[in-house]
Every structure is written in C-alpha cells, then in structure tokens.
Amino acid sequence: MKKIITLLLTAIMAVGCGNNAQKGAEPQDKPWQEIKPAEIELNPLQMIDRDWLELSAGKEGNMNLMTISWGSIGELWGKPVFIVYVSTSRYTYQFMEENDYFTVTHFPASMKDKLAYLGRVSGRDEDKVAGAGLTVEFTGLGNPIYAEADLAIECKKIYAKQFDAELLPPEQRDWYERSGTGIHTVYIGEILHVWKK
C-alpha cells in the first residue's frame, strides 16, 4: 500500500513539474533554429514599426543595444539586407561605427515594457542589459543576441552614410533642428544569419 501511495505521489509530482516546466517554457527555453531570410514570417511593418526591435552592436564586454522602430528589410545588390537608421546622438552610434556587424532582435509582446525602457535610457548612463533583465548570448561571429528574443538577424555592414541635411525634406530638417536629435546615419547590413525560436 505504502509503495502504491509513493508511486502515486511520484506520478502526481511528475505531472505537476511537467506543467510548471511548460508554463516556464518562454522562448528563452527553446533552442534557436536557423532559417533563411525569406522564411521570416513576420510582416515587416508589424515587426519593425509596431512590435519594435533591439539593435545591438559590439562584442562581449563592450557592446550596446537600443530600441528601434525605423528600419527596412529587403534586397540590394543581390543580397538580403536589413537597413537601420541611427542618430549620432545615440550611444549605440559609436558601436555601429566601430563594428563591422550588427544584430536586430525581435521579442515576444510580453516584453514591450523592456523595449520601452531600452529606448528611453542610454547605455552611457546605465547597464541596460541588466536593467532589462536580458541574457546576452554571442553568435559564432561574436555578436550579441538575447535568450529572451524570438527572432535574431545578424548583419554585416556593407554601407553606412549619414543623411545629407541639404537633401532632407524641409519638415524633416526642421524636426532635426527643433529636437536637437543628431541626423541619422543609414546602415545597410547584409543579412548573414536569421535564427528563430
């Protein structure tokens, strides 16, 4: 009888733990799976403009990330590309200038408040990775992505140029002058790898 009760208790505990494991199975518990750029299922405007992304550059011990909602994904010179626009006033700007690679990562909707935080504070002032509770992982090329993300795109910079103030639409030039935001640099990145969970 004692044996049966023990067995029953063990079975109940196993089921209980199983459920917990499932509940805790946030994307970070799932392994990355490499896919082709054309297999990204998210609508680009949903992914970039509505969900937002994290843009990261640098290597272990010397990296930064910031939230972006301006970006483009497509094809250029026969290569799949992701294009980001970074103001010179961002701390991330110097990492974009100094590094040959960058990554963009997409997160589950439940993390939107973390993305808002990463787009409000500067890495100059605080450790944003710790502040957002992110777990950094490094790709084979040494570029930062995050265990909590559900999509990661690794890019190699193939072109970078700041917008020419003289060629900006007048309202945009006014906006830069009024806001004091440094004029954005366009970084075109060849998509080297895409991983999803």
Interface with ligand FMN (CB under 6 A) = 52, 64, 66-70, 85-87, 90-92, 116, 119-124, 184
State the DSSP H helix or E strand holding residue 197, giving kind and residue range, or none if neither: none
Question: What does 131-171 look like in DSSP terms, one character per residue?
Answer: HHT--EEE-TTS-EEETT-SEEEEEEEEEEEE--GGGS-HH
Minimum Å distance from CB 140 to ligand FMN? 25
Q: Which residue has the tokens 């103030």?
A: 165
Query: Which residues are within 8 A (CB) of 109 and not within 5 positions of it... i.e. 6 or more apart?
Result: 51
Minimum distance of ligand FMN from residue 40's CB (angstroms) = 19
Q: Which is nearer to ligand FMN, 30 or 120 (CB)?
A: 120
Q: Which is nearer to ligand FMN, 118 or 194 (CB)?
A: 118
- Nearer to ligand FMN among residue 121 and residue 147 (C-beta): 121
Shortest Å distance, C-beta 58 to ligand FMN: 11
Residue closer to ligand FMN (CB basis): 32 or 187: 187
